[in-house]
């Protein structure tokens, strides 16, 4: 069974055909899909507008794969309603699944490393999100993925250190999104599915209990 895990697609008012095509290909390659948070950008678009947007062409594909939707900090549960069933089989804060005897925990990661929006319970202004996305896209073209490592790897490090203190650490494997830095650290029983934004599409493929990281550039 092939399970695809992706997060941080941050789908918004701006429809990107190349991003859509890559997402479609990734979804179709799986037997099951787990959306690990920040699927749509709740700071730039309402849920009603999102489900009416051209991104809705992904919904029947996700529904067919019985997609598990783990919400994040940009697509909070309170932003959603029953129409979430248009593209997901289950909506949850954390999802557990045993694969080949290994227990996997899927969660976005914001509860383990809250950012200022979670701490102060406020939305980041839409124009700041837009400027930030443009800046990161520009820096990626110049410096490549190392800019993401420079900006975000400390988030993964913090999450891993905290996870190691939990009593079920040795018996489970934690998969997050949130940090935008893709990583597989088997010694820490941790993986991050990275980001599907800024022109870079990353995702994890779990097959027979083995995890591999895949990525493609869609805006180059």
pLDDT, tens digit, 9 for 90 and up, residues 78-136: 999 999 999 999 999 999 999 998 999 999 999 999 998 888 888 999 999 999 999 99
Residue showing tokens 């940090």: 179
Going by pLDDT thresholds of 50, 70 and 90, the confidence category of residue 55 is very high
Task: Give the containing element (helix H, strand E) for 45.
Answer: none
Tell me, which fold does domain 2-217 have in CATH? Purple Acid Phosphatase; chain A, domain 2 (3.60.21)
Q: Which of 65, 14, 5, 42 is nearest to 196 (CA)?
A: 5
- The angle that helices 146-163 and 126-143 make with each other, rounded to 10 degrees, is 110
CA 219 to each of CA 20, 57, 150: distance values in angstroms, whole numbers, following the listed order: 11, 20, 21
């Amino acid at each position: 069974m092939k399970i695809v895990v992706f997060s941080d697609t941050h789908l918004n008012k701006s429809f990107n055909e190349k991003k859509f095509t890559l997402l479609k290909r990734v979804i179709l390659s799986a037997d099951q899909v787990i959306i690990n948070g920040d699927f749509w950008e709740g700071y730039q678009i309402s849920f009603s507008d999102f489900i009416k947007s051209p991104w809705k062409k992904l919904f029947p594909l996700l529904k067919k794969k019985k997609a598990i939707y783990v919400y994040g900090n940009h697509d909070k549960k309170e932003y959603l309603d029953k129409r979430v069933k248009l593209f997901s089989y289950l909506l949850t804060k954390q999802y557990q699944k045993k694969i080949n005897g290994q227990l996997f925990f899927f969660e976005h990661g914001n509860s383990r490393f809250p950012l200022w929006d979670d701490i102060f319970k406020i939305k980041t202004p839409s124009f700041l999100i837009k400027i930030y996305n443009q800046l990161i896209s520009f820096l990626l073209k110049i410096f490549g993925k190392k800019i993401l490592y420079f900006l975000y790897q400390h988030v993964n490090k913090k999450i891993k250190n905290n996870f190691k203190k939990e009593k079920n650490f040795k018996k489970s494997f934690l998969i997050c999104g949130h940090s935008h830095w893709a990583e597989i650290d088997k010694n820490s029983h941790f993986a991050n599915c990275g980001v599907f934004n800024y022109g870079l599409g990353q995702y994890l493929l779990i097959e027979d209990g083995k995890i591999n990281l895949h990525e493609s550039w869609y805006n180059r």
